[in-house]
Amino acid sequence: MNLETRRTFIKSAAVAAGFIGLRTHSLAAAKSPGHPASGANSKADGYGPLLKDPQGLMRLPKNFSYKIISKTGERMDDGFYVPGGQDGMGAFAAPDGKTLLIRNHELSPGAEKDGPHAGKKDLWQKLQSNLYDPARGKDMCLGGTTTLVYDTHEQKLIQHSMSLAGTMRNCAGGVTPWGSWITCEETTNRADEDFELDHGYNFEVSANSKMGFASPVALKEMGRFNHEAVAVDPASGIVYQTEDRHDGLIYRYIPNVRGRLEKGGRLQALAIQGGKSKDTRNWPEDNLPAFPIGERVRAQWIDLTDIESPEDDLRYQGFDAGAARFARGEGMIYGNGEIYFACTNGGSKKLGQIFRYKPSEYEGMSSEAKQPGELELFIESHDSELLKSCDNLTIAPWGDVVICEDDGESSAVVGVTREGKLYHIAHVDYESELAGPCFSPDGTTLFVNIQWNPGLTLAITGPWRERIG
């Protein structure tokens, strides 16, 4: 089966199978939405004002409520403890109408008290055979993922357990159309006197409710860099990736075998046609021509070679070869037939940008050059009251982008309409990072993580279909 035929087959099969990403996002209209005249300074009514929370945790609109479904330090069904540093998260359809969540834990070396063993020697020994990096017997590599099964009808947690261990700073990631979660290490630590293995890779975890650890296979051909998030185009199977650096790149990985990322592939970086080494950050001190808001520009992709990047310079190699530069690429999601991604401190006021990439009909094929994909700066925030420090994001069942802020102070969950107008869905009332937004397959529940003080996972319910404006 050639690539063109396979693409047509995959499109039909994905729709027939009800792939969650397509099913969740198919309610949005196909035509391109309008553009805000001044970046992110247009406001929508959303669900109305956010009301004071008597518990002092999270403000929500009228008729909305949250439930804490998981907390750092709670004992899980496999005997381990809920780790801290809850970050990116993905939702999958589970049997009997349940929702399965795979959740990242962004734990750095030295966080043993927040690790799954909670500093207990017997649990640390139990972890040993399941670790990616044993770290020379030290409590060093405590990142990984946990898997939760949740009943949205009963609003009840059914089961939770560890599903990946021995990695480091698992920040964000992304769901795949073949039923797995790609979890990303936001680090470039090398093997040394502390670590037995290099870090800075992606790992794949199956969306499976059966308790147990995923095989910790580093997907090395996807590149070694400060990974943040990924998104998969279900039509092509190509995986797009963000890099959390102030001067990072946007990558795509074309696998040799669709759905088998460990079989190798080709890593490329995003460039702008007619704009070699384009800087999209719009930082005023750079004194460069502004990257336009609301205009689609033709993209091209540059092959990368030294993907293991022992000097952590993959972004510099790509930029020197002509790739575009972005300001801290973080959250990324496929929806509405496009790839959306957040740049946390991009823009003239460094409040954040949201880009979207429209893949070519011939994405990754030899004929792509005749009809290339297109990149658009969809949102650039000029008002911190509306949007600041955009991080993880998802697509709501009604087609809006839903963003978690991470500003190191008090953060919000922000919705963006297809016309580029913004509204607030929730606001956490103390200093912590919000992360991991994702909707249950039935569209009733928005899951979100509060990363610290303490680390929590919340299930938010309410009249989602009643958004105003």
User: For the residues 117-140, what does the mean pLDDT come to?
Assistant: 91
Residue 388, domain member (yes or no): yes
End-to-end alpha-carbon separation of the chain, Å? 46
- pLDDT (0 to 100) of residue 402: 98
- Distance from C-alpha of 461 to C-alpha of 216, rounded to nearest angstrom: 34
Would you place residue 20 in the very low, low, confident or very high pLDDT band (cuts 50, 70, 90)? Answer: very low
Q: Is residue 405 part of a domain?
A: yes
φ and ψ at residue 445, rounded to 5 degrees: -135, 130
> Tens digit of pLDDT for each residue in 370-400?
999 999 999 999 999 999 999 999 999 999 9
* Residue 35 included in any domain: yes
Q: Which domain holds residue 460?
A: 16-72+383-469
Per DSSP (E only), the strands in 279-389 are 296-303, 329-335, 338-343, 353-358, 374-380
What's the mean pLDDT when you consider all of the chain?
A: 91
Strand partners for 255: 265
Please indicate, yes or no, if residue 366 is contained in any of the structural domains: no
90: confidence class by pLDDT, cuts 50, 70, 90: very high
Q: What is the pLDDT of residues 40-58, one digit of tens each?
A: 568 998 999 999 999 999 9
Smallest Cα–Cα separation from 466: which of 58, 59, 63, 30?
A: 63
The yes-or-no verdict on residue 64 having pLDDT over 50 is yes
Residue 460 lies in a domain: yes
Burial 449-464, CB ≥16 within 10 A → b, else e: bbbbeebbbbbbbbeb
Residues 97-125: tens digit of each pLDDT: 999 999 999 999 987 789 999 989 899 99
Distances (CA, A) of 405 to 146, 389, 411: 22, 5, 5
Task: Give the CB-side neighbour count of residue 199, counting CA atoms within 13 A.
Answer: 31
Q: Which pLDDT does position 40 carry in this prediction?
A: 57
Residue 334 belongs to some domain of the structure: no
Q: What is the DSSP letter of 79?
A: S
Q: What percent of the chain has pLDDT above 90?
A: 85
Which distant-in-sequence residues (6+ apart) come within 8 Å of 213 by Cβ? 130, 162, 163, 164, 165
pLDDT at 445 over 50: yes
Residue 290: CB atoms within 10 Å: 14
Task: Dump pLDDT digits (tens) for 300-321.
Answer: 999 999 999 999 999 999 999 9
Tens of pLDDT, residue by residue over 180-235, are 999 999 999 999 999 999 999 999 999 999 999 999 999 999 999 999 999 999 99
Q: Please name the amino acid found at residue 96.
A: D
User: Does the residue 455 lie in any domain?
Assistant: yes
Q: Per-residue pLDDT for 22 more than 90?
A: no
Instruction: In whole angstroms, give the CA distance from residue 325 to residue 316.
Output: 9
Q: Which pLDDT score, from 0 to 100, does residue 190 have?
A: 97
Report whether pLDDT(11) > 50.
Answer: no
Q: Which pLDDT score is estimated for 39? A: 56
pLDDT band at 340 (very low <50, low <70, confident <90, very high): very high
95 domain residue, yes or no? no
- Number of domains, the chain: 1
Residue 34 has pLDDT above 50, yes or no: no
Residues in the chain: 469
Q: What is the pLDDT of residue 163?
A: 98
* Beta strands per DSSP E along 56-193: 58-61, 65-71, 86-93, 99-105, 143-151, 156-167, 170-175, 180-185
